[in-house]
């Protein structure tokens, strides 16, 4: 069971279920959420009863809009740089962990998926997009490179779509 109310991690049958539950913040990731997901993945990897991981959201608007930039900004203004850097470091380690996870990792993505939401979905072994799917790497629009490992993953998508998204930051919805 989860240690933070913003993310529910529990075993249901043979699935390790992760439910993002910050709908008012479009499920933007916080450090406690990153840590809870990492803790659950570690536990479920060792649990033979857990055959797969399924990640979803309670929000109809968003799977995950990325990192909680407001909280990160507030931490920076308060001089709490260690916490701010811990978020980025642990989030990136989590993305790498998801990429190499030994069990099927299924992200059920519907609504907005940007930034950190891309990290916790794109790197999994399986992704299923819903009718309201809206993907973007908005940091590209302000001159940053695509983060959360997207520079590795996007060029590997079919055709030139991933490269286009990595270079433009445009939004892509369900077809």
67 an active-site residue?
Answer: yes
Exactly one of 66, 147, 162, 169 is catalytic; name it. Answer: 147
76 an active-site residue?
Answer: no
Exactly one of 67, 115, 119, 162 is catalytic; name it. Answer: 67
116 an active-site residue?
Answer: yes
Exactly one of 116, 119, 162, 169 is catalytic; name it. Answer: 116
**Largest Cα–Cα distance of the chain, in whole Å?**
45
Strands in 15-20's sheet, in edge-to-edge order, are 7-12, 15-20, 52-57, 105-109, 126-129
Exactly one of 6, 91, 110, 139 is catalytic; name it. Answer: 139
111 an active-site residue?
Answer: no
Q: Which residues are catalytic?
A: 67, 116, 139, 147
């Amino acid at each position: 069971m989860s240690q933070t109310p913003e993310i529910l991690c529990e075993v249901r049958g043979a699935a390790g279920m992760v439910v993002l539950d910050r709908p008012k913040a479009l499920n933007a990731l916080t450090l406690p959420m990153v840590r809870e997901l990492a803790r659950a993945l570690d536990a479920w990897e060792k649990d033979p009863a857990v055959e797969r991981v399924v990640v979803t959201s309670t929000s109809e608007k968003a799977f995950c809009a990325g990192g909680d930039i407001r909280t990160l900004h507030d931490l920076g203004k308060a001089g709490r740089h260690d916490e701010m850097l811990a978020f980025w470091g642990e989030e990136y380690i989590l993305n790498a962990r998801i990429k190499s996870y030994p069990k099927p990792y299924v992200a059920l993505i519907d609504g907005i998926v940007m930034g950190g939401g891309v990290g916790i979905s794109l790197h999994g072994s399986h992704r299923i997009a819903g009718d309201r799917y809206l993907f973007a790497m908005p940091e590209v629009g302000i001159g940053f490179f695509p983060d959360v490992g997207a520079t590795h993953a996007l060029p590997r998508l079919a055709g030139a779509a991933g490269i286009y998204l990595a270079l433009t930051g445009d939004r892509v919805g369900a077809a």
